[in-house]
Chain A
């Protein structure tokens, strides 16, 4: 549908494969960082989101990262040259394109991944990946499954990857820099009237970003309110008329998605569309919870509150 590979494809695909990780566990448990250090007996371990334990050894040299967000982080943490596999959607930074494409990252081809002879596989913690994680472990490959849907999970992921790579200083620097920008945007938009926003991630079916996604948090930080923020899922398919009932002030959509919306007669029922309040987001920038979260928040704030953030 989109001729350019959209980062939302990863979200949409996860939703399609029944992968919404948010449904795995009660929501109260989700936000708490589960991957904690336990240095008992002198062995350092990390517990991942499938409850499996990764024993930390020497820093991995051959890493397969099957999640766009973690691939990006490996580059930021200076370990990009150790990647021997990525997903089809890992397009940032551009150096990632040189890493072999091992498919879409959901229910990966186990043999193709093992063929890259990794000493660490990092997977997105969706139900569709349980079987693969089990197989990688059975084949003796250390495997780490991480959910990266929320900003807190992003922070946690950065720190976990930092520990895995043995460089927690860089990891803390990344987290701090992102947090500083987010705080700046939050305070700049604090007093403003908060427009209700509908974030359209896909067209057929219509998929909205839900409360389980970092994008809802970004909208909040940028001085808006997601009309589907009350739904715990990261994304959900919705009917056009339900969007009309929630009557958003603005629509956030990628360029192609916005064009489709303006062309479809049914969307005229939406006040925001009739009033020309379809705001075009830079999907490549905001598509995933990565090191550019701060930048993404700034760009959203500029859309929702022009002039508020310098």
Chain B
């Protein structure tokens, strides 16, 4: 991503946004702490309670929210480019549905709660494989439009499976499953953060590495083939990487909608045409946005919380409307 005079402001602004969001996320909570107390507690000194609040509650939450937001936004940016469709996002392409099925089955079969993320991830992988298989069977090769339709179909099927599972599951399992599906980083732990960070950094790096291929794909299949790109392979690779990136977030924080759809549109007009820049910018914007959304989720209805997925969807709609006006 080349830094030119015109987009220097964009990158500085995005990094600053993440920093400000993180500072607010660390500084605000039901227990009032002064900035000095926040700092000493983060460093592990001072009041035991303050240290535990900062190190075991707020900090893992902020970091997890940042990772989830970044991963979802990057995934969406890559998919929109690959599919040449402004509506493409991980959740539309069956990932969320598959993950939710996996999680609900894990919950309903009374697996230990720690296995729910594993179930979610497994479900997402199955959904991705299914989408690819359907697209291949339908069109012979993964045409972006067919891939999109296959994703929607798999998503609808997953919804049906979820409804059947929930209707026949014991009510306590239903409660856990519903809570999980509404999305939340409330239970964030460093172990979770570690897993997601390792996973997200690997997939995001791969996505950035192959971003130039997405630039070519975005020109259209014929043009891309004319430029010597193996269209099928490049498209499939981008789809799989983006989907797995989203799947990991679902495993860590449940279903947090709209980030993957809206954030790429917010940065696309400013980050230029190169997908390496668009994906990276979307990642930063997604991180800042989700930290802020989580802050809203945990303060607006204190002492209770709002589901994070509800906050992102509510905030996402006006953002999207503003963006639509810009497209006119």
Contacts and interface: CB of A to CB of B under 8 A. Distances in A.
Interface stretch (A149-157, A186-194, A263-271, A276-284): A263-271
A104 B30 contact: no
Given A241-B57, A265-B189, A9 B180 contact: no
A301 B92 CA distance: 54
Interface stretch (B46-54, B154-162, B236-244, B285-293): B46-54
Contact of A266 (B48, B56, B179): B56
Contacts of B86: none
Contacts of B203: none
A107 B57 CA distance: 37
B57 A204 contact: no
A9 B304 contact: no
Interface in B171-191: 171-176, 178-180, 184, 186-190
A206 to B, nearest CB: 8
A270 B49 CA distance: 7
Question: Number of contact residues on B: which range applies?
Answer: 20 to 34
Interface residues of A, number: 36
Contacts of A206: 186
Nearest to A247: B49
Contacts of B184: 205
B172 A13 contact: yes
Nearest to A202: B175
Interface stretch (A41-49, A231-239, A290-298): A231-239
A231 B304 CA distance: 11
B303 interface: yes
B31 A239 contact: no
A242 B52 contact: no
B303 A12 contact: no
A1 B56 contact: no
Contact of A104 (B29, B56, B171, B304): B171
Contacts of B187: 204, 264, 266
Interface in A12-32: 12-13, 16
Interface in A50-96: 88
> Considering residues A2, A245, A269, which has the most beta carbons from chain B within 10 angstroms of its beta carbon?
A269
B53 A244 contact: yes
Top 8 nearest A-B pairs (CB, nearest first) are: A269-B52, A242-B303, A245-B30, A242-B30, A104-B171, A265-B56, A238-B303, A245-B31
Interface of A: 1-3, 5-6, 9, 12-13, 16, 88, 104, 106, 202-206, 228, 231, 236-242, 244-245, 264-266, 268-271, 274
21 contacts: A1-B113, A6-B172, A9-B171, A16-B178, A88-B171, A204-B179, A206-B186, A228-B303, A236-B304, A240-B186, A241-B31, A242-B30, A244-B53, A245-B30, A245-B31, A266-B52, A266-B189, A268-B56, A269-B49, A269-B52, A270-B49
Interface of B: 29-31, 48-49, 52-53, 56-58, 60, 110, 113, 170-176, 178-180, 184, 186-190, 298, 302-305
